[in-house]
């Protein structure tokens, strides 16, 4: 495998992991720390210390001893992991540490925080965080010790390190299993070096965009499935927050940190046919066909990861040939599964070397009881003014037995776990309601937009490049009286705006409740190519006075002009004083569009007449 060439720093070795816990009895819990180590750094010790804190109490520390070490390097035949040999080009190990701790109930329903602190340091290969090898690894989990039914944290079933090819679609899922059947919600959070110190991302990256990708990076809030298309060779860290809900109330959380390696390779990942969410019934076998294909005609290894695998679920490969693989996932729910939701992740790995490509596909299975046909009825209010202000309340119909679990999904990866949801944007929302018997109701509703203001507008375009355009707007919807604004200016009670030049204008309408709507209008100006008309004053003939003068003053009069738009100017090339003889005066008229026309006026000045004697023949 030809991965990114990295200069390792001694002591830089932490790649990811998480802290989980399992209730044993009474107030005792088994605490488990999982760490993924970069084998290019120094070895890990046989024990690790985590911080245990709670509100109003001093911080204590718990020593966990290592119980297992597993080489999790993705290798091709003949390759050697750096974890087992110094000659290996790269390698990663999974280390698990455990200890038991009594965590008694806390006042005011307080939570314990279990955190790995002071773990130096992150590996220097990381490219999406600033100065990664100078930052510690901080991961944390919260535990509520006050529950009547004690809680077990989610268990992450997929490992925290993965390898993908550059410019190829990538899918990965941490797949958390909750043995208590609590509802889980996944989201990205900022990696940290301590409880109060988020690590700055490299330029252009952020919590919601943690690596360089040519497609949006999405995380499914109910299955944890993450999709992206890396567009650069890189090593990225992202932190996934897994929150637990029971009866709509959050009872715990876990930060699972992952490291993603992107290398330049030309291997298309397998594609797994998607499976939608499933409903299973007690005692009835649910079997789901799984098909994966590979355009590179590689062999595909299919595996299923789910908490159901330890509860009787099976995944059998039915056929496997070059370029395709097919299997069947089957599960028969028992009473212990009633009313619970499980995530199933199908992983596909091809056999191309030096870099194998992987993909994943996740879906949920919810187990219902032996119940009458149920549905969900709603009470809703629309999103006022089109803002995020809608509400919805779901009720199982016919009425079920409490307590109820609710799962809402909606636009923009919206999720919620309470009977009533608020602050809703317009759009479609789906809900699944499960009662204590495991009876399930599902339905979808639309949150509309109330008091949405719209406009009916007309435009009078400017003519001849003049400031004579106009916009007339009438509000539709909303509650009068209305206020109209042009380009954010002063408000006025009517939507008439006049005296406008050519240009783009935004009109905003605001109703009495503050709801508003706006629209953009374009005022144009017609092109004027018509010349103005001009008629010169009459020609003038004058006699020089006095007769021996060199010139005389003459008033020429004014021409008659007109234009289809407007006259900008009238000029002449003559003066007020004219010499003897004939002078041609040119008059020029120009309109506001720059079009011109001319005419010529003749001015004749006659000087002193001279007598000439003509002899008459035959005279005396």
Average pLDDT of the residues in 217-229: 91
Is the predicted pLDDT of residue 385 greater than 50, yes or no? yes
Secondary structure (3-state) at 556: coil
pLDDT at site 11? 43
Alpha-carbon distances, residue 273 vs 197, 289, 540 (angstroms): 41, 9, 98
Is the predicted pLDDT of residue 618 greater than 60, yes or no? no
Percent of the chain with pLDDT over 90: 56
Could you tell me which residue, 451 or 128, shows the higher pLDDT? 128
Is the predicted pLDDT of residue 32 greater than 80, yes or no? yes
pLDDT at site 379? 86
Is the predicted pLDDT of residue 3 greater than 70, yes or no? no
Average pLDDT of the residues in 416-435: 88
Give the residue from 575, 543, 571 showing the smallest Cα distance to 556: 575
SS3 content of the chain, % helix, strand, coil (to 5): 5, 50, 45
**CA Rg, the chain, in Å?**
42
pLDDT at site 615? 59
Is the predicted pLDDT of residue 612 greater than 90, yes or no? no
Sorting pLDDT into bands at 50, 70 and 90, what band is 4?
A: very low
Sorting pLDDT into bands at 50, 70 and 90, what band is 140?
A: very high
Secondary structure (3-state) at 412: helix
Is the predicted pLDDT of residue 255 greater than 50, yes or no? yes
pLDDT tens per residue, range 468-524: 899 999 988 777 899 999 999 999 999 999 999 989 999 999 888 778 888 999 998
Is the predicted pLDDT of residue 590 greater than 60, yes or no? yes
Alpha-helical segments (H) within 187-296: none
pLDDT at site 396? 86
Q: DSSP label at 528?
A: P
Pairing of strands 577-579, 271-272: unpaired
Percent of the chain with pLDDT over 70: 95
- Cβ–Cβ contacts within 10 Å for residue 609, how many? 8
pLDDT at site 1? 38
pLDDT at site 566? 85
Is the predicted pLDDT of residue 168 greater than 80, yes or no? yes
Is the predicted pLDDT of residue 620 greater than 70, yes or no? no
pLDDT at site 485? 96
Write out the DSSP string of 145-196: TT-SS-----EE-S-SEEEEETTS-EEE---EE-TT--EEEEEEE--EEETT
pLDDT at site 95? 95
pLDDT at site 611? 45
Sorting pLDDT into bands at 50, 70 and 90, what band is 557?
A: very high
Q: Is the pTM of this model over 0.85?
A: no
pLDDT tens per residue, range 533-548: 999 999 999 998 887 7
Residue 108 exposure: Cα atoms within 13 Å on the Cβ side = 4
Average pLDDT of the residues in 136-152: 95
pLDDT tens per residue, range 352-374: 887 788 899 999 998 887 777 77
**Would you state the structure tokens that stand for residue 208, as one six-digit string?**
């919601």
pLDDT tens per residue, range 177-190: 998 888 899 999 99
Could you tell me which residue, 578 or 452, shows the higher pLDDT? 578
Is the predicted pLDDT of residue 390 greater than 80, yes or no? yes
Is the predicted pLDDT of residue 375 greater than 90, yes or no? no
Sorting pLDDT into bands at 50, 70 and 90, what band is 614?
A: low
State CA 616 to chain mean position distance: 115
Decide if 3 contacts 74 (C-beta within 8 A): no
Beginning with the edge strand found earlier in the chain, give each strand of the sheet holding 581-591 in spatial order: 540-543, 596-606, 581-591, 567-572
Could you tell me which residue, 7 or 587, shows the higher pLDDT? 587
Mean of all residue pLDDT scores within the chain? 88
Average pLDDT of the residues in 140-161: 92
Sorting pLDDT into bands at 50, 70 and 90, what band is 451?
A: low
Is the predicted pLDDT of residue 143 greater than 90, yes or no? yes
**Would you state the structure tokens that stand for residue 348, as one six-digit string?**
């596909």
- Cβ–Cβ contacts within 10 Å for residue 471, how many? 21
pLDDT tens per residue, range 192-209: 999 999 999 999 999 999
Is the predicted pLDDT of residue 279 greater than 70, yes or no? yes
């Amino acid at each position: 495998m030809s991965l990114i060439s990295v200069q390792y720093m001694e002591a830089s070795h932490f790649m990811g992991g998480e802290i989980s816990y399992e209730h044993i009895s009474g107030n005792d819990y088994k605490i488990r720390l999982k760490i993924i180590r970069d084998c290019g750094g120094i070895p890990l010790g046989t024990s690790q210390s985590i911080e245990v804190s709670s509100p109003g109490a001093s911080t204590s520390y718990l020593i966990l001893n290592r119980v297992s070490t597993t080489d999790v390097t993705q290798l091709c035949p003949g390759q050697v992991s750096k974890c087992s040999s110094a000659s290996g080009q790269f390698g990663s190990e999974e280390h698990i540490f455990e200890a038991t701790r009594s965590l008694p109930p806390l006042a005011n329903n307080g939570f314990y925080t279990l955190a790995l602190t002071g773990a130096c340091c992150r590996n220097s290969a990381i490219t999406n965080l600033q100065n990664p090898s100078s930052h510690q690894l901080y991961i944390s989990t919260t535990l509520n010790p006050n529950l009547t039914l004690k809680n077990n944290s989610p268990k992450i079933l997929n490992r925290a390190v993965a390898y993908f090819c550059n410019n190829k679609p990538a899918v990965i899922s941490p797949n958390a299993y909750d043995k208590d059947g609590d509802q889980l919600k996944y989201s990205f959070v900022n990696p940290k070096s301590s409880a109060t110190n988020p690590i700055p991302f490299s330029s252009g990256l952020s919590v919601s965009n943690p690596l360089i990708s040519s497609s949006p990076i999405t995380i499914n809030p109910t299955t944890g499935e993450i999709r992206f298309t890396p567009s650069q060779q890189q090593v990225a860290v992202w932190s996934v927050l897994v929150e637990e809900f029971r009866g709509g109330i959050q009872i715990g959380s876990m930060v699972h940190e992952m490291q993603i390696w992107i290398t330049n390779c030309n291997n298309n990942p397998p594609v797994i046919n998607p499976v939608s969410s499933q409903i299973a019934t007690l005692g009835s076998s649910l079997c789901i066909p799984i098909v994966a294909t590979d355009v590179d005609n590689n062999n595909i290894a299919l595996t299923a990861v789910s908490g159901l695998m330890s509860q009787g679920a099976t995944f059998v490969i039915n056929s496997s040939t070059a370029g395709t693989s097919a299997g069947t996932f089957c599960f028969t729910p028992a009473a212990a599964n009633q009313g619970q939701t499980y995530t199933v992740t199908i992983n596909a790995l091809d056999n191309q070397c030096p870099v194998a490509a992987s993909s994943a596909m996740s879906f949920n299975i919810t187990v219902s009881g032996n119940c009458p046909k149920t549905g969900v009825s709603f009470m809703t209010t629309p999103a006022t003014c089109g803002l995020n202000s809608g509400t919805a309340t779901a009720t199982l119909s016919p009425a079920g037995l409490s307590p109820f679990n609710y799962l809402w999904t909606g636009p923009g990866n919206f999720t919620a776990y309470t009977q009533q949801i608020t602050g809703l944007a317009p759009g479609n929302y789906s809900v699944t309601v499960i009662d204590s018997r495991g009876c399930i109701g599902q339905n979808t509703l639309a949150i509309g937009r109330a008091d949405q203001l719209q406009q009916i507008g007309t435009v009078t375009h400017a003519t001849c490049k003049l400031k004579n355009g106009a916009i007339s707007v009438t509000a539709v919807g909303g509650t009068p009286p209305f206020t109209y604004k042009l380009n954010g200016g002063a408000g006025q009670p009517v939507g008439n705006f006049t005296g406008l030049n050519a240009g783009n204008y935004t009109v905003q309408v605001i109703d009495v409740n503050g709801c508003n709507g706006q629209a953009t209008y374009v005022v144009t100006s017609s092109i004027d190519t018509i010349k103005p008309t001009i008629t010169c004053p009459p020609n003038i003939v004058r006699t020089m006075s006095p007769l021996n003068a060199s010139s005389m003053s003459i008033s020429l009069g004014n021409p008659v002009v007109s234009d289809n738009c407007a006259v900008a100017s009238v000029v002449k090339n003559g003066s007020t004083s004219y010499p003897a003889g004939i002078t041609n005066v040119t008059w020029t008229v120009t309109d506001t569009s720059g079009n011109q026309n001319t005419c010529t006026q003749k001015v004749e000045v006659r000087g002193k007449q001279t007598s000439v004697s003509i002899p008459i023949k035959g005279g005396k």
